[in-house]
Amino acid sequence: MSARNTFCCVNAGNCPGTSTNCNRRFAWCTKLVKPFVFCVITSMLAMSVSHLCDKYSASASFKMIKSDLGNLRTHLETLSLEVKNVMEMRDELKSKLKEVGNVIPKMSEAILNLRNEVSEEMNLHTKNLLKALSPETVKNMVRNELQTYDADKTGRTDYALESSGGAILSTRDTEPYSTGAPVLNLFGIPLCQQQNIPRAVIQTGVLPGECWAFKGSRGSVVIRLLGQVHVSGISLEHISPLISPTGETATAPRDFSIWGLTDLEDEKPFSFGTFTYDNTGPPLQYFEIQNRAKEAYEIIELKVHSNSGNPEYTCIYRIRVHGTLNRK
Domain residue ranges of the chain, discontinuous segments joined by +: 3-57, 158-325
> Residue 29 has what pLDDT?
63
Q: How far apart are the C-alpha atoms of 20 and 14, rounded to whole Å? A: 12
For 7-16, 124-133, 278-287, which range has the lowest pLDDT when averaged over its residues? 7-16
Contacts of 14 (CB under 8 A, 6+ apart): 8
- Of residues 275 and 27, more confidently modeled: 275
Tell me which residue of 235, 232, 234, 236 sits closest to 296, measured CA to CA.
Answer: 232
Q: Which of 27-41, 99-113, 196-210, 259-273 has the lowest mean pLDDT?
A: 27-41
Nearest to 317, CA basis, from 208, 166, 216 = 208
Most confident of 104-118, 132-146, 249-263: 249-263
Work out the average pLDDT over 311-322: 95
- Mean local confidence (pLDDT), 208-229: 95
H, E, C per residue of 182-233: CEEEECCEEEEECCCCHHHHHCCCCCCCCCEEEECCCEEEEEEEEEEEEEEE
CATH number of 158-325: 2.60.120.260
Q: Is pLDDT larger for residue 252 or for residue 149?
A: 252
Label residue 192 by pLDDT band (50, 70, 90): very low
pLDDT of residue 122: 84
Quote the pLDDT of residue 291. Answer: 96
Please tell me the least confidently modeled range out of 36-50, 70-84, 93-107, 152-166: 36-50
Confidence label for 95 from pLDDT (cuts 50, 70 and 90): confident
Could you read off the pLDDT of 3-54 as tens digits, one per residue?
Answer: 445 444 445 445 444 455 555 666 666 666 667 777 777 777 777 766 666 6
The whole-number average pLDDT for the span 47-67 is 67
pTM score: 0.55
**Residue 217 predicted with pLDDT over 60:** yes
